[in-house]
Amino acid sequence: FVGNSTYLDDHGPPPQKVLPFPSQVVYNRVGKCGSRTVVLLLRILSEKHGFNLVTSDIHNKTRLTKNEQMELIKNISTAEQPYLFTRHVHFLNFSRFGGDQPVYINIIRDPVNRFLSNYFFRRFGDWRGEQNHMIRTPSMRQEERYLDINVCILENYPECSNPRLFYIIPYFCGQHPRCREPGEWALERAKLNVNENFLLVGILEELEDVLLLLERFLPHYFKDVLSIYKNPEHRKLGNLTVTVKKTVPSPEAIQILYQRMRYEYEFYYYVKEQFHLLKRKFGLKSHIRKPRPRPEFFIPSALETEEPIDDEEEDDEKWLEDIYKR
């Protein structure tokens, strides 16, 4: 016991036993990309599978000072494992502050659709109660609340122009000040982080496939997630988070948004392509459903995934093993 007490005196507590699967997962959820639906599922899953779901009450602070980053990383790193931490926060580099880099997961969606969902949600809330937007944005003046979306875009109101429209990329680029500037630097850094630090970035338009892959990659967290998601009781809960009073802007306004969000779209299509490659690798076909009426048809869309290919199957288990070593 003498040796042990010396170790504690010099180094603090002994290192935690390494679990045989990723035991530190961060879901730095992007706003208005289905995250409330996923968090509802995680609450059910954490009870079912006994992992530690660590959530945050801070929803509107995505950029942190260096001290705030250190503090948050320390708090997350000392959570009981296996944990899944979730919060609206731009990517945090744990290794920069001497921590173990966790496995990251996230979901994004078509950038214009995300923007529209947020625009109307801030004003009119969702089906959980028409008044909850008043609590969310109590200081919003009536003329701002009822501001026509086309006027906002065409007359270049701050809410409908850059840098406000540069929203998704900083979640993947990180906390560096340049991550907030619409441009190639932030885009490339975001792509690099997706490749190096994210186990999976799914797209909301194919949520069932996202859940299937999460179940495959992180079974200790997501086993049975799809059956829970498809359960009629849960679907009722999910419908409560649908934004109300959404209207579609004019084709001209959509085209302007598309120009302003060109970096967001380049990132979105990059992630979509990577996601489809993963689906093919694991034999999932892209189900092309009849699209609901929404502004996407004004926007050039990426090619659909082809039939799954079989020639890489022998690598699948090795690929998962590599992830589990991280």
Does residue 105 or residue 140 have the better pLDDT?
A: 105
Q: What is the pLDDT of residues 288-315, one digit of tens each?
A: 554 444 444 444 443 333 333 333 333 4
Question: Does 153 fall in a domain?
Answer: yes
Mean per-residue pLDDT, 30-37: 93
Say what percent of the chain tops pLDDT 70. 75
Question: Does 93 fall in a domain?
Answer: yes
* Domain assignment of residue 180, given as a range: 24-283
Task: Using the predicted structure, report yes or no on whether residue 260 has a pLDDT greater than 90.
Answer: yes
Asked about 88 being catalytic, the answer comes back as yes
Question: Does 290 fall in a domain?
Answer: no
Q: Is it true that the peptide bond before 82 is cis, omega within 30 degrees of 0?
A: yes
Mutual angle of helices 111-124 and 262-281, in 10-degree steps: 110
Q: Rounded to 5 degrees, what are φ and ψ at 47? A: -70, -40
Q: What is the pLDDT of residues 68-106, one digit of tens each?
A: 999 999 999 999 999 999 999 999 999 999 999 999 999
- Where residue 32 sits, what CATH number does that domain have? 3.40.50.300
Question: Does 16 fall in a domain?
Answer: no
Mean per-residue pLDDT, 38-62: 94
Q: What pLDDT is attached to residue 326?
A: 47
Task: Using the predicted structure, report yes or no on whether residue 24 has a pLDDT greater than 90.
Answer: yes
Q: What pLDDT is attached to residue 298?
A: 44
Q: What pLDDT is attached to residue 232?
A: 84
Q: What pLDDT is attached to residue 127?
A: 52
Question: Does 307 fall in a domain?
Answer: no
Question: Does 11 fall in a domain?
Answer: no
Say what percent of the chain tops pLDDT 90. 66
Mean per-residue pLDDT, 137-154: 91
Distances (CA, A) of 280 to 195, 273, 285, 304, 314: 17, 11, 7, 11, 13
Mean per-residue pLDDT, 252-271: 97
Question: Does 292 fall in a domain?
Answer: no
Q: What pLDDT is attached to residue 233?
A: 77
Say if CB 172 and CB 91 are below 8 A apart. yes
Q: What pLDDT is attached to residue 57?
A: 86
pTM for this prediction: 0.80
Q: pLDDT band at residue 245, thresholds of 50, 70 and 90?
A: low
Question: Does 5 fall in a domain?
Answer: no
Q: pLDDT band at residue 130, thresholds of 50, 70 and 90?
A: very low
95 token code pair = 């290794």
Domain count, the chain: 1
Task: Using the predicted structure, report yes or no on whether residue 48 has a pLDDT greater than 50.
Answer: yes
Catalytic choice (11, 49, 59, 88) = 88
